[in-house]
Structure 1
């Protein structure tokens, strides 16, 4: 008789129902988390975000140089690049350093916005477009400020994404 009383007790029935609902919710939540962690879209988004962050930083580095800290700036250029672009920078470093030392200029860049234009994870290549504001200060005169858009090609290396090509984005309309 005591057994019949406990199985019909509304508190026992409610507690059992809550346990079943909690177990089902935990199972569903675990499955959703597993599914999201193994989703190709999430992996692609992470790769895209990593490429964009590296691309923006590399383009900013390539547009920032101070004659007073020239060696560090040129080292930053080399650390941001790979492939032919890296080779060109290394080979032209001495001549470029002499030009900057003679001009005594300071250029600083600020990224305004950026976007990944293409991403091929398998090939380890990505394209970025970065809008930036570059301020060039010469020893005499007012600083010159220019806004521009740069197109960069990134290559994935063991150290991460690095610039393998950089150029000015075309300006103007292609319509008409």
Structure 2
């Protein structure tokens, strides 16, 4: 009898734990965070990859990865950029080295990611050039999922200014 009671108690505890985990708000937040990270990585990779032989599809991937003002800038400069890439005959490829979600506001539909990327540029009759950069991207939730709405390079060695360092020296005593 004691064994049956213990089994029922264990089953009840396991069921309650499973139900609690399945309905925990942090699970939904973690899922959204994973979606933001995947979208951010893919978008940064898309915007750092372009082959002059498949230029139209590459630039379409750029536009599909972006929204808002960033997408508008890409569309506006597309014609001139196409001419430059066709003339240079370059092939640029990117590999994501690491990434992280820096901020996520589910209610506002905004997120920020930090991405380290290795970019290789190949041009005819030249040795491929490779560089590593860190980028900060802002993403916005759209009807089609999370899209980049801003992207900038983060300088190596960048640190946020210390509030004490930026204060007026006359105020320090």
In the superposition, the TM-score normalised over structure 1's length comes to 0.87
> What are the residue-to-residue correspondences of 1:1-176 with 2, within 5 Å?
16-174=1-159
Whole-Å separation in 2 of the counterparts to 1:173 and 1:153: 18
In 1: Cα distance, 2:118 partner to 2:105 partner: 28
Whole-Å separation in 1 of the counterparts to 2:105 and 2:64: 22
Q: Distance in 2 between matches of 1:156 and 1:18?
A: 52
Deviation at 1:93, TM superposition (A): 1.4
In 1, Cα distance between the equivalents of 2:70 and 2:111? 15
Which sits farther off after the overlay, 18-27 or 104-113? 18-27
User: What are structure 1's unaligned runs of at least 5 residues?
Assistant: 1-15
Query: TM-score when scaled to structure 2?
Result: 0.88
> In structure 2, what is the Cα distance between the partners aligned to 1:135 and 1:22?
60
1:114-140 per-residue CA deviation (whole Å, 9 max, x = no partner) reads 011111010000000100100000012
1:14-36 Cα deviation digits (max 9, x unpaired): xx333322222221111111111
C-alpha displacement at 1:49, in angstroms?
A: 1.2
* Secondary structure in 1 matching 2:77: helix
Structure with higher Rg: it is 1
Deviation at 1:141, TM superposition (A): 1.0
Distance 1:137 1:104 in 2: 9
SS at match of 1:139: coil
- Cα shift readout 1:50-83 (whole Å, capped 9, x = no counterpart): 1011101100000000000111101110110011
Aligned residues: 161
Unpaired runs of 5+ residues, structure 2, are 166-173
